[in-house]
């Protein structure tokens, strides 16, 4: 009975691991930062923080609101729903206080854009990076 219970618990855990994918935060190779705080990450992706600590401009890339990757990224790393993030962008865009992030259509495009745009930051599903970009960890 106890074994069955443990098997069920482990099964449940695997289920959750399966639905919530692991995400790598990725940056262009010219960004010198090694880590980024969760609060700075929120400022970056809500388009309020426009430059890296070394002064270089930040260029933000995102996937569409309805993609699983963007939804998981928003909820797991930023702690907000995609529609909340979009409203924050809209509040800035239509009041003249900020600009929108650049949208990409696929992970392949994300990888290429982050690789070739200085100051770029984006995200990929775990294991999808190559040698032209690197990951940055969240403190």
Which residue ranges make up the site for other proteins (CB under 8 A)?
39-40, 42-43, 48-51, 53, 55-59, 64-66, 71, 78-84, 86-88, 90-91, 93-100
Min dist. Cβ of residue 107 to other proteins (A): 18
Closest CB to other proteins among residues 10, 118: 118
**Secondary structure element (H or E) that encloses residue 135, with its range:** strand 133-135
Closest CB to other proteins among residues 5, 94: 94
**Secondary structure element (H or E) that encloses residue 114, with its range:** helix 107-116
118 Cβ contact partners less than 8 Å away, ≥ 6 residues apart: 28, 30, 56, 57, 59
Closest CB to other proteins among residues 6, 83: 83
């Amino acid at each position: 009975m106890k074994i069955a219970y443990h098997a069920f618990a482990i099964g449940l855990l695997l289920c959750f691991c399966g639905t919530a994918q692991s995400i790598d935060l990725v940056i262009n190779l010219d960004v010198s930062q090694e880590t980024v705080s969760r609060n700075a990450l929120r400022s970056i992706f809500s388009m309020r923080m426009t430059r890296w600590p070394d002064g270089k401009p930040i260029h933000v890339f995102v996937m569409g609101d309805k993609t699983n990757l963007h939804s998981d990224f928003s909820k797991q790393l930023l702690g907000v729903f995609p529609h909340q993030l979009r409203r924050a962008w809209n509040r800035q865009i239509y009041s003249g206080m900020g600009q929108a992030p650049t949208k990409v259509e696929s992970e392949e495009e994300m990888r290429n854009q982050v690789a070739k745009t200085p100051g770029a930051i984006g995200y990929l599903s775990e294991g999808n990076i190559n040698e032209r970009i690197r990951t940055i960890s969240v403190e």
